[in-house]
Amino acid sequence: MTYRGVRLLLTGESMWVSGSMSGARTPARLLRTVLPASGRHGPAASSYSASAEPSRVRALVYGHHGDPAKVVELKNLELAAVGGSDVRVKMLAAPINPSDINMIQGNYGLLPKLPAVGGNEGVGQVVAVGSNVTRLKPGDWVIPANAGLGTWRTEAVFSEEALIGVPSDIPLQSAATLGVNPCTAYRMLVDFEQLQPGDSVIQNASNSGVGQAVIQIAAALGLRTINVVRDRPDIQKLTDRLKSLGAEHVITEEELRRPEMKNIFKDVPQPRLALNCVGGKSSTELLRHLAPGGTMVTYGGMAKQPVVASVSLLIFKDLKLRGFWLSQWKKNHSSGEWTAPMPRVTGKGSA
C-alpha cells in the first residue's frame, strides 16, 4: 500500500498556498525556484565529482520569526565540506506543511536556531558520502530523521544520523511526504487503542495529508473509517476521491451533528478511536459518537478553538483525551522503532 501525498510543494497546491498568501513571494513560489520540477529527479549521483561540485547552493532562509511571505528569503549559502560521517544530499522535492509555516511564525513546539533554512520534510538523493558512512551510498534516496533539518534548499551536507534511507522506486511525491503525515497516522492508529479488523475509527479533517494517510493505512489494517470533512460545492467529487483511497463513510460537519448520524452505527460499530485535527465544535461531536471507554487523540487545531469535552461524557462514558506530536514520539523512541512501519506505509513489505 503506497501512501499518496496530497499537500504539495513545487506546484503550489497546498491549502496554505492557495489561500490568501498566494502572492508573488510566497515560500511555495520561491520553492519552485530552488527545487527541480516535480517528477524530475535531476542529474544522476554519478555525474558529480569532488572537483566539479559547486561551493554554493540556493536555500529559503528566515532570520527572524514572522509572516512567511515577509521573512523568508532566497539566498545563496556556502556548501560545507563532506566530513567522515557526513552525507551530501541533492534535494529532489519538499512539501509545505502547516508545521513549516508555524515554525517560521515562531509558534511551533520546536524552533531551530536562527537564521534557519525552512522545511521539515522532503526527499533527497545522496551525492557523496564520507569515509565513515556505512548505511548510505551515492544514489540512495533519503528523508530527514527529525524535524528542523531545513529541506528547502538545492543541496546540503548532513550527518548520516540525521537521515533515513527510503526506497527509490516509490513515487517522488510520496517519498517527499513520507516522514510526517503517514507516520503520524500509523502511530495514532496503533498506539492508543488495540483495534482489530472490523473496528471503526472516526476522524475530522479527513482530506488533510494525515487524514488521507489514516484512510489508506486503516484500510490496510482492516479498519473501517468514518471521515468528516467540511461541506463544499464539489463534496461528491471529494467523497469519491476519499472512497477511492479506502474510506467507508464520508460525511460533512453538518451531517455529523444530525440525529440521522446514528444510522451509520447500524452497519458500523461505534468507534473506539477518534482523531481530531480541528478542535472546537468538531472535536465535541467526535467525542459524542465515541464508544464507551474510547479515546480521542488530538494532533492539530485547525479551527484555533479549544477542545470542549462534556463532563457527562467523561464521567459516564469514561472517555479519554490524549495528544500526539510525532517529534516528541521520536524523542521517546529509537530510530528503529520509527522506521519499522516504513515497509507498510511504502508498500515494500510488511511491518
Q: Is the pLDDT of residue 83 over 60?
A: yes
Please give the average per-residue pLDDT across 278-287, as a whole number. Answer: 95
* pLDDT tier, 124 (very low <50, low <70, confident <90, very high otherwise): very high
* pLDDT tier, 2 (very low <50, low <70, confident <90, very high otherwise): very low
Residue 302 and residue 283: Cα distance in Å, rounded?
11
Please give the average per-residue pLDDT across 173-180, as a whole number. Answer: 93
Q: Are strands 200-203 and 224-229 parallel, antiparallel or unpaired?
A: parallel
* pLDDT tier, 335 (very low <50, low <70, confident <90, very high otherwise): confident
pLDDT at 271: 97
Instruction: State the virtual CA torsion across 185, 187, 192, 194 in degrees, nearest 10.
Output: 100
With 0-12 / 13-18 / 19 or more C-beta atoms within 10 angstroms meaning exposed / middle / buried, residue 103 is buried
State the catalytic residue, choosing from 3, 62, 108, 299: 108
Helix (H, G, I), strand (E, B) or coil at 288: helix
The pLDDT tens digits for 7-19 are: 334 322 333 222 2
- Among this protein's residues, is 186 annotated catalytic? no
Please give the average per-residue pLDDT across 59-74, as a whole number. Answer: 97
Q: Is the pLDDT of residue 278 over 60?
A: yes
Residue 83 and residue 128: Cα distance in Å, rounded?
10
The pLDDT tens digits for 92-102 are: 999 999 899 99
How crowded is the C-beta side of 173, counted as CA atoms within 13 Å?
16
Residue 21 and residue 13: Cα distance in Å, rounded?
12
pLDDT at 56: 83
pLDDT at 15: 30
Mean pLDDT of the residues in the chain: 86
